[in-house]
Amino acid sequence: MAKILITESVHPIGPELLTAAGHTVVYADRDMDVIRREIVDADAVLVRIIELPGSLLATAKNLKIVSKHGVGYDNIDLDYCKAHGVAVTITPNANSLSVAEHAFTLMLTLAKNIIPVSKEYRTVGFAAKNHAPGIEMTGKTLGLIGMGRIGKHILHMCRDGLDMHVIVYDPYISEVPEGVERVGELSELLRRADVVTLHCLLTDETRKLIDRERLALMKPTALLINCARGPIVDEAALIEALENGRLAGAGLDVTDPEPVAPTSPLFKLPNVIVTPHYAPATVEAATRVSEIAAENINAVLAGKEPAGRIV
């Protein structure tokens, strides 16, 4: 019987699969004291976004697998895991559709002024219809940064659903689907796009990829959507651009830091929508991700090859 530490809340289906396999499950509910105490003799850790640096993993003497609930593994010290024979798994595709739908929703909600107009309807009444007009997205240009699992879904939603022209910047792909244009320079995408949506990994190369200079290249009418990772955008520069009308709006499911400080201008700016890393929190994705994350643990502990192994 193995001990599994679950650092953050997950859909119950995963823990059920773990206990059905004869394992003991311990919940930390984001409490770092509990994590530090329970990881010491844990055989497996099921983690969402809590940071697992090598210094913490090194205290886990029985650790055989870190199972990421999701796909963004930047919170796990992969070098430590590689060096110490700890498997690391992700749950590819399990939440991609939900994240793409969230990005799509942020884009349209901003474009149509849904939040300010519905608020004004309650306060000023029908005159809210005189709010500044929204934007029609059909035929506009989507700038997609990172055409992986999530990027491909949003590409289809925008190209086939809204007849948008899609331009892609991703230096690591070999081809793009028919009807989609690939650009070699990020600056070209930023200059041309009406909406820029981020779906790349957070790496040393993509940290602050969207900085002050690059924000300045975007159209003042453009929207920026980030459902990837907060540090990909220089948040101070983004706030400045939004405050100065250098950018029309931003839809952010991820921020830097996370959570957003209660005093952050992001909560005050009328042209910003922030959600708390909520994109994959749909019934369907939560179930699939929890299930696959648990199956990965059960596989490794049974000496089998897990589906989502990255280390």
Ligand X SMILES: NC(=O)c1ccc[n+]([C@@H]2O[C@H](COP(=O)([O-])OP(=O)(O)OC[C@H]3O[C@@H](n4cnc5c(N)ncnc54)[C@H](O)[C@@H]3O)[C@@H](O)[C@H]2O)c1
Return residues touching ligand X (CB under 6 A).
70-72, 95-96, 99, 145-151, 169-173, 199-203, 205-206, 227-229, 253-254, 277, 279-280
CB 195 within 8 A of CB 225: yes
Q: Which DSSP state fits 179?
A: T
The residue at minimum Cβ distance from ligand X is: 148
* Complex with ligand X: residue 23 or 69, whichever CB lies closer: 69
Catalytic, out of 11, 69, 159, 277:
277
Beta bridge partners of 44: 4, 65
Amino acid letter for position 301: L
> Minimum Å distance from CB 98 to ligand X?
8
Taking the least distance from each CB to ligand X, the nearer of 11 and 23 is: 11
- Least separation in angstroms between residue 270's CB and ligand X is 23
- Give the closest residue to 222 by CA, choosing from 207, 201, 241, 239: 241
Q: Select 23 or 192, whichever has its Cβ closest to ligand X.
A: 192
Decide whether 2 or 224 has the Cβ nearer to ligand X.
Answer: 224
Active site residue 258: yes
CB-based contact 301:43 (threshold 8 Å) = yes
**Alpha carbon 120 to chain centroid, angstroms:** 30
Nearest distance, CB of residue 126 and ligand X, angstroms: 36
The continuous run of DSSP H or E covering 226 comes out as strand 223-226
As a dihedral over the C-alpha atoms of residue 278, residue 284, residue 287, residue 290, rounded to 10 degrees, the angle is -50
By annotation, the residues acting in catalysis are 229, 258, 277
